[in-house]
């Protein structure tokens, strides 16, 4: 009997789909926890439960042998950006619909394309410029100014996405740094901030929340591993579009667990942002 054998490209796409599912599970878990715990405590629990899994991944890749950073200033900047991205997004998860936030998070490639021009000298080009305009039109549709109530969480999302774009750009400029150091150096500042901000308003953990924190940590490890495998097996242009499946996962989980009903404006805005991201991914000039 012949066994089914998938090509490396299909395997890479499958791994990225799994990664997008794991990322959405993290977001859903954080959103569920936000009904009981404040943002700093969730960040602290997420980091503490995720750290063992990160170390296991680093050991698997052989990165534990080389964790000493070479460019301390760059790592300090990455720690600040990582804290901003994490705190901003986790706060927004407790205030805004899941699918809306996931869709808005995909504006990060648009900001990366724009910021790479002055910071890295990468030409924007007319195709990427058109894609950026298209993507921000999608943001306009999602936020629905004038027809939807304003919420400060939108500012948190904007700050989080901007920090994430900066974090991605810094990774390009520090490509010669040890991978383990790149990951672990982003965590101490967030741990200190989350720990210090959690002291006064600490809420005792319950059994369900401990299990959920551990599940989020395991999902984080799955996400990290899946992305590594996806890019090992196939080219970025093949696997990267699978990340946008997160919008579908978020729509499903939002409906099942948070009573969120997708709207036409949400579908249109998400489609514009995803289309813009795909144009940027494919554009060559």
Going from N- to C-terminal start, the domains of the chain cover 8-282
Tokens of 170: 């810094």
pLDDT category at 45 given cuts 50, 70, 90 is very high
- 212, 49 contact by CB (below 8 A): no
Please indicate whether residue 148 or residue 79 has the higher confidence score (pLDDT).
Answer: 79
Please indicate whether residue 168 or residue 87 has the higher confidence score (pLDDT).
Answer: 87
What digits encode the pLDDT tens for the residues 169-193? Answer: 887 777 666 666 667 777 888 999 9
Q: Residue 268: which residues within 8 A CB-CB, separation 6 or more?
A: 138, 141
How far is the C-alpha of 74 from the C-alpha of 263, rounded, in Å? 42
Mean pLDDT in residue range 212-216: 93
Count CA within 13 A, CB hemisphere, residue 52.
Answer: 9
pLDDT category at 74 given cuts 50, 70, 90 is confident
pLDDT category at 285 given cuts 50, 70, 90 is very low
CA angle, 174 then 157 then 110, to 5°: 55
Mean pLDDT in residue range 109-128: 83
How far is the C-alpha of 197 from the C-alpha of 80, rounded, in Å? 16
Is the pLDDT assigned to residue 68 strictly greater than 80?
no
How far is the C-alpha of 102 from the C-alpha of 62, rounded, in Å? 32
pLDDT computed for residue 259 by the predictor: 93
Give the CA diameter of the chain.
64
pLDDT computed for residue 212 by the predictor: 94
pLDDT category at 127 given cuts 50, 70, 90 is confident
How far is the C-alpha of 230 from the C-alpha of 211, rounded, in Å? 28
How far is the C-alpha of 113 from the C-alpha of 34, rounded, in Å? 32
- 142, 103 contact by CB (below 8 A): yes
Mean pLDDT in residue range 143-154: 78
Mean pLDDT of the chain: 86
For residue 260, the 8-state DSSP code is -
pLDDT computed for residue 157 by the predictor: 94
Tokens of 227: 């992305």
Mean pLDDT in residue range 240-247: 89
pLDDT computed for residue 282 by the predictor: 78
Is the pLDDT assigned to residue 3 strictly greater than 70?
no
pLDDT category at 271 given cuts 50, 70, 90 is very high
Q: Residue 166: which residues within 8 A CB-CB, separation 6 or more?
A: 77, 81, 115
Is the pLDDT assigned to residue 239 strictly greater than 80?
yes
Neighbours of 4 (CB within 10 A): 4
Going from the C-alpha of 166 to that of each of 25, 82, 147, 251, the distances in angstroms are 24, 9, 31, 27
Please indicate whether residue 62 or residue 23 has the higher confidence score (pLDDT).
Answer: 23
Going from the C-alpha of 17 to that of each of 119, 130, 196, 230, 249, the distances in angstroms are 31, 27, 36, 9, 10
Is the pLDDT assigned to residue 60 strictly greater than 70?
yes
Mean pLDDT in residue range 262-283: 89
């Amino acid at each position: 009997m012949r066994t089914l054998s998938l090509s490396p490209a299909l395997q890479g796409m499958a791994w990225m789909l799994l990664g997008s599912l794991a990322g959405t599970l993290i977001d859903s878990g954080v959103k569920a926890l936000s009904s009981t715990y404040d943002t700093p405590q969730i960040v602290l629990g997420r980091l503490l439960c995720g750290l063992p899994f990160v170390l296991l991944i680093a050991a698997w890749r052989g990165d534990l042998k080389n964790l000493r950073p070479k460019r301390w200033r760059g790592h300090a900047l990455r720690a600040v950006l990582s804290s901003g991205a994490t705190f901003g997004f986790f706060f927004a998860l407790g205030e805004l619909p899941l699918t809306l936030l996931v869709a808005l998070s995909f504006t990060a490639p648009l900001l990366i394309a724009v910021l790479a021009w002055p910071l890295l000298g990468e030409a924007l080009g007319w195709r990427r410029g058109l894609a950026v305009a298209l993507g921000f039109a999608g943001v306009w549709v999602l936020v629905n100014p004038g027809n939807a109530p304003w919420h400060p969480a939108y500012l948190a999302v904007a700050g989080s996405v901007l920090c994430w774009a900066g974090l991605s750009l810094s990774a390009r400029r520090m490509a010669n740094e040890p991978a383990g150091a790149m990951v672990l150096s982003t965590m101490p500042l967030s741990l200190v901030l989350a720990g210090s901000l959690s002291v006064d308003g600490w809420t005792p953990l319950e059994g369900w929340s401990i299990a959920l924190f551990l599940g989020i940590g395991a999902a984080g490890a799955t996400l990290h591993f899946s992305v590594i495998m996806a890019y090992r097996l196939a080219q970025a242009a093949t696997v990267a579009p699978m990340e946008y499946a997160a919008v579908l996962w978020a729509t499903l989980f939002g409906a099942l667990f948070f009573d969120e009903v997708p709207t036409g404006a949400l579908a249109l805005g998400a489609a514009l942002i995803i289309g813009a991201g795909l144009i940027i991914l494919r554009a060559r000039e």
